[in-house]
Amino acid sequence: RSLVVVHFWAPWAPQCAQMNDVMAALAKEHLQVTFVKLEAEALPEVSEKYEITSVPTFLFFKNSQKIDRLDGAHAPELTKKVQRHGSGSSVPAVPSGGAKEDLNVRLRKLITAAPCMLFMKGSPKEPRCGFSKQMVEILNKHGVSFSSFDIFSDEEVRQGLKTYSNWPTYPQLYVAGELIGGLDIVKELEASGELDTICPKAQKLEDR
Protein backbone atom coordinates (compact mmCIF):
# COMPACT_ATOMS: atom_id res chain seq x y z
CA ARG A 1 0.00 0.00 0.00
CA SER A 2 2.94 2.31 0.44
CA LEU A 3 4.42 4.41 -2.35
CA VAL A 4 7.00 2.85 -4.69
CA VAL A 5 9.21 5.19 -6.74
CA VAL A 6 11.01 3.60 -9.71
CA HIS A 7 13.95 5.43 -11.28
CA PHE A 8 14.62 4.40 -14.89
CA TRP A 9 18.28 5.34 -15.29
CA ALA A 10 21.37 4.70 -17.42
CA PRO A 11 24.96 4.43 -16.15
CA TRP A 12 26.25 6.72 -18.94
CA ALA A 13 24.01 9.67 -18.00
CA PRO A 14 25.55 11.99 -15.35
CA GLN A 15 22.14 13.47 -14.51
CA CYS A 16 20.99 9.98 -13.47
CA ALA A 17 23.84 9.73 -10.98
CA GLN A 18 22.80 13.09 -9.52
CA MET A 19 19.20 11.94 -9.18
CA ASN A 20 20.35 8.70 -7.51
CA ASP A 21 21.96 10.88 -4.82
CA VAL A 22 18.70 12.83 -4.48
CA MET A 23 16.79 9.54 -4.14
CA ALA A 24 19.20 8.31 -1.44
CA ALA A 25 18.58 11.49 0.55
CA LEU A 26 14.79 11.18 0.10
CA ALA A 27 14.92 7.51 1.20
CA LYS A 28 16.38 8.60 4.55
CA GLU A 29 13.59 11.15 5.04
CA HIS A 30 10.69 9.00 3.82
CA LEU A 31 11.20 5.61 5.40
CA GLN A 32 7.71 4.44 4.37
CA VAL A 33 8.50 4.95 0.66
CA THR A 34 10.28 2.26 -1.40
CA PHE A 35 12.82 3.53 -3.94
CA VAL A 36 13.91 1.27 -6.81
CA LYS A 37 16.51 1.80 -9.56
CA LEU A 38 16.00 0.13 -12.93
CA GLU A 39 18.53 0.31 -15.74
CA ALA A 40 16.27 1.34 -18.62
CA GLU A 41 18.29 -0.25 -21.42
CA ALA A 42 18.80 -3.52 -19.55
CA LEU A 43 15.01 -4.04 -19.38
CA PRO A 44 13.75 -2.84 -22.78
CA GLU A 45 10.38 -4.60 -22.47
CA VAL A 46 9.64 -2.78 -19.17
CA SER A 47 10.83 0.55 -20.57
CA GLU A 48 8.65 0.04 -23.63
CA LYS A 49 5.60 -0.85 -21.56
CA TYR A 50 5.86 2.39 -19.57
CA GLU A 51 6.90 4.53 -22.57
CA ILE A 52 10.31 5.43 -21.16
CA THR A 53 11.89 7.50 -23.94
CA SER A 54 14.58 9.32 -21.96
CA VAL A 55 16.53 9.04 -18.72
CA PRO A 56 16.13 9.85 -15.93
CA THR A 57 12.39 9.08 -15.71
CA PHE A 58 10.58 8.37 -12.44
CA LEU A 59 7.36 6.37 -12.12
CA PHE A 60 5.24 6.41 -8.96
CA PHE A 61 3.20 3.34 -7.99
CA LYS A 62 0.63 2.78 -5.25
CA ASN A 63 -1.31 -0.47 -4.78
CA SER A 64 0.41 -1.77 -7.95
CA GLN A 65 -1.12 1.11 -9.94
CA LYS A 66 0.93 3.78 -11.71
CA ILE A 67 -0.24 7.11 -10.26
CA ASP A 68 2.31 9.62 -11.54
CA ARG A 69 5.52 10.13 -13.53
CA LEU A 70 8.32 12.64 -13.78
CA ASP A 71 10.52 13.02 -16.86
CA GLY A 72 13.95 14.59 -16.42
CA ALA A 73 16.37 15.48 -13.63
CA HIS A 74 14.20 17.72 -11.46
CA ALA A 75 15.15 17.29 -7.82
CA PRO A 76 12.62 19.85 -6.42
CA GLU A 77 9.77 18.30 -8.44
CA LEU A 78 10.76 14.77 -7.37
CA THR A 79 10.84 15.85 -3.72
CA LYS A 80 7.42 17.48 -4.08
CA LYS A 81 5.85 14.41 -5.67
CA VAL A 82 7.34 12.05 -3.06
CA GLN A 83 5.98 14.27 -0.28
CA ARG A 84 2.57 14.50 -1.93
CA HIS A 85 2.13 10.81 -2.76
CA GLY A 86 4.11 9.45 0.18
CA SER A 87 1.99 11.00 2.91
CA GLY A 88 -0.51 8.49 4.29
CA SER A 89 -3.42 10.87 3.79
CA SER A 90 -2.87 11.28 0.07
CA VAL A 91 -6.10 11.02 -1.84
CA PRO A 92 -6.26 9.20 -5.18
CA ALA A 93 -5.77 11.49 -8.14
CA VAL A 94 -9.07 12.54 -9.68
CA PRO A 95 -9.41 12.14 -13.44
CA SER A 96 -9.07 15.87 -14.08
CA GLY A 97 -5.79 15.83 -12.16
CA GLY A 98 -4.58 13.05 -14.45
CA ALA A 99 -5.28 15.18 -17.50
CA LYS A 100 -3.24 18.02 -16.02
CA GLU A 101 -0.40 15.64 -15.27
CA ASP A 102 -0.44 14.44 -18.87
CA LEU A 103 -0.29 18.04 -20.09
CA ASN A 104 2.75 18.67 -17.88
CA VAL A 105 4.46 15.60 -19.33
CA ARG A 106 3.65 16.88 -22.82
CA LEU A 107 4.95 20.37 -22.03
CA ARG A 108 8.15 18.90 -20.61
CA LYS A 109 8.68 16.91 -23.81
CA LEU A 110 8.12 20.03 -25.93
CA ILE A 111 10.51 22.11 -23.80
CA THR A 112 13.24 19.48 -24.12
CA ALA A 113 12.55 18.61 -27.77
CA ALA A 114 15.65 20.58 -28.81
CA PRO A 115 18.64 22.05 -26.91
CA CYS A 116 17.16 25.51 -27.55
CA MET A 117 13.37 25.86 -27.85
CA LEU A 118 11.44 29.04 -28.63
CA PHE A 119 7.71 29.19 -27.90
CA MET A 120 6.42 32.02 -30.07
CA LYS A 121 3.42 33.45 -31.90
CA GLY A 122 3.74 32.20 -35.45
CA SER A 123 6.89 30.71 -36.98
CA PRO A 124 10.45 32.07 -37.43
CA LYS A 125 9.64 32.68 -41.13
CA GLU A 126 6.27 34.27 -40.31
CA PRO A 127 6.20 35.70 -36.76
CA ARG A 128 2.73 36.84 -35.73
CA CYS A 129 3.71 39.45 -33.16
CA GLY A 130 6.42 42.09 -32.88
CA PHE A 131 8.03 40.56 -29.79
CA SER A 132 8.34 37.14 -31.43
CA LYS A 133 9.80 38.80 -34.56
CA GLN A 134 12.43 40.62 -32.49
CA MET A 135 13.31 37.43 -30.60
CA VAL A 136 13.86 35.50 -33.85
CA GLU A 137 16.00 38.35 -35.23
CA ILE A 138 18.24 38.35 -32.12
CA LEU A 139 18.68 34.55 -32.17
CA ASN A 140 19.45 34.55 -35.92
CA LYS A 141 21.88 37.47 -35.53
CA HIS A 142 23.85 35.43 -32.96
CA GLY A 143 23.76 32.25 -35.05
CA VAL A 144 21.78 30.39 -32.38
CA SER A 145 20.56 26.92 -33.32
CA PHE A 146 16.93 26.73 -32.14
CA SER A 147 13.64 24.98 -32.77
CA SER A 148 10.31 26.71 -32.35
CA PHE A 149 6.70 25.98 -31.43
CA ASP A 150 3.78 28.10 -32.61
CA ILE A 151 1.57 28.58 -29.53
CA PHE A 152 -1.34 29.60 -31.77
CA SER A 153 -1.36 26.01 -33.05
CA ASP A 154 -2.31 24.55 -29.65
CA GLU A 155 -4.46 26.43 -27.13
CA GLU A 156 -3.83 23.83 -24.41
CA VAL A 157 -0.05 24.33 -24.68
CA ARG A 158 -0.48 28.10 -24.92
CA GLN A 159 -2.38 28.31 -21.61
CA GLY A 160 -0.65 25.39 -19.87
CA LEU A 161 2.90 26.63 -20.42
CA LYS A 162 2.12 29.97 -18.70
CA THR A 163 1.22 28.07 -15.53
CA TYR A 164 3.94 25.42 -15.91
CA SER A 165 6.74 27.99 -16.16
CA ASN A 166 5.07 30.73 -14.14
CA TRP A 167 5.72 33.11 -17.04
CA PRO A 168 2.61 34.90 -18.36
CA THR A 169 3.72 36.14 -21.79
CA TYR A 170 5.21 34.98 -25.09
CA PRO A 171 7.75 34.51 -26.61
CA GLN A 172 9.50 32.20 -24.10
CA LEU A 173 13.01 30.86 -24.68
CA TYR A 174 14.26 27.58 -23.14
CA VAL A 175 17.80 26.22 -23.18
CA ALA A 176 18.49 22.63 -22.05
CA GLY A 177 14.95 22.40 -20.68
CA GLU A 178 15.28 25.51 -18.46
CA LEU A 179 13.35 28.75 -18.98
CA ILE A 180 15.69 31.62 -19.92
CA GLY A 181 12.87 34.18 -20.19
CA GLY A 182 11.12 36.51 -22.60
CA LEU A 183 12.31 39.19 -25.00
CA ASP A 184 13.44 41.68 -22.32
CA ILE A 185 15.67 39.11 -20.61
CA VAL A 186 17.14 37.93 -23.92
CA LYS A 187 17.91 41.57 -24.81
CA GLU A 188 19.69 41.98 -21.44
CA LEU A 189 21.67 38.76 -22.05
CA GLU A 190 22.59 40.03 -25.51
CA ALA A 191 23.76 43.37 -24.10
CA SER A 192 25.91 41.66 -21.44
CA GLY A 193 27.39 39.16 -23.92
CA GLU A 194 25.95 36.20 -21.98
CA LEU A 195 23.61 35.12 -24.77
CA ASP A 196 26.54 33.72 -26.76
CA THR A 197 27.64 31.55 -23.84
CA ILE A 198 24.14 30.27 -22.97
CA CYS A 199 22.65 29.33 -26.34
CA PRO A 200 23.87 26.49 -28.58
CA LYS A 201 25.31 27.75 -31.87
CA ALA A 202 24.41 26.49 -35.31
CA GLN A 203 27.40 24.98 -37.09
CA LYS A 204 28.67 27.29 -39.79
CA LEU A 205 28.83 25.75 -43.24
CA GLU A 206 32.61 26.21 -43.48
CA ASP A 207 33.06 24.41 -40.12
CA ARG A 208 30.98 21.50 -41.37
**Could you report the per-residue pLDDT of 114-141, keeping only the tens digit for each?**
999 999 999 999 999 999 999 999 999 9
Q: What is the DSSP letter of 91?
A: P
Residues 186 and 111 in one domain: yes
What CATH number has the domain bearing residue 117?
A: 3.40.30.10
Residues 109 and 73 in one domain: no
| 93 in a structural domain | no
Nearest-Å Rg of the Cα atoms of the chain is 19
What is the total count of domains within the chain? 2
pLDDT confidence of residue 97 = 52
Helix (H, G, I), strand (E, B) or coil at 7: strand
**Could you report the per-residue pLDDT of 27-78, keeping only the tens digit for each?**
998 888 999 999 999 999 999 999 998 899 999 999 889 999 999 999 999 9
Residue 81's pLDDT band (boundaries 50, 70, 90)?
very high
- Helices then strands, each counted (H, E), the chain: 8, 8
SS (H, E, C) 147-205: EEEEHHHCHHHHHHHHHHHCCCCCCEEEECCEEEECHHHHHHHHHHCCHHHHCCECCCC
Q: Which domain holds residue 56?
A: 3-86
Give yes or no for residue 91 having a pLDDT over 60.
no
